[in-house]
Structure 1
Amino acid sequence: MAAKSMTFKRRNRAVGIADALAGALDPVLKKRGFASQDILNHWAAMAPAPYDRIAIPDRLGWPRGERSAEGATLYLRCVPGHGLAIAHEGARIAAAVNRYFGYVLVGQVRLSVEPFIPGSTVPDKNVAEPAPEIRAKIGASVAGVDDEGVREALRGLGHALAQRRRKRIE
Structure 2
Amino acid sequence: MAEKPKEYKRLNRSVGVAEALKGALDPALKRRGFASRDIITYWSTMAPAPYDKVALPDKLVWPRGERSAEGATLHVRCAASHALGLAHEGAKIAASVNRYFGYLLVGQVRLSAEPFRPHSAKPAETGLKVTDAMRMEVSGAVESVEDEGLKEALRQLGHGIMAKSKSSGR
Compute the TM-score of the two structures, normalised by the length of structure 2: 0.63
**Residue 84 of structure 1 corresponds to which residue in structure 2?**
84
* Deviation for aligned residue 1:22: 1.3
SS of 2:75's partner is strand
**Residue 102 of structure 1 corresponds to which residue in structure 2?**
102
Q: Which amino acid aligns with 2:12?
A: R
Change (3 A) 1:103 1:11: same
Alignment of 1:152-167 (within 5 A): none
* Deviation for aligned residue 1:47: 0.5
Q: Which amino acid aligns with 2:70?
A: E
**Larger Rg computed on CA atoms:** 1
SS of 1:119's partner is coil
Structure 1 window deviating more from structure 2 (63-72 vs 36-45): it is 63-72
Whether 1:43 and 2:62 are equivalent positions in the alignment is no
Identity of aligned residues (%): 65
* Deviation for aligned residue 1:66: 4.6
Q: Which amino acid aligns with 2:17?
A: I
Question: For the residues of structure 2 that align with 1:77 and 1:66, how far apart are their CA atoms?
Answer: 28
Q: Which amino acid aligns with 2:104?
A: V
Whether 1:11 and 2:12 are equivalent positions in the alignment is yes
Question: For the residues of structure 1 that align with 2:11 and 2:27, how far apart are their CA atoms?
Answer: 25
**Count of residue correspondences:** 118
Q: How much is the aligned-residue C-alpha RMSD, in angstroms?
A: 2.4
SS of 1:44's partner is helix
Consecutive unaligned residues in structure 2, runs of 5 or more: 1-8, 122-163
SS of 2:27's partner is helix
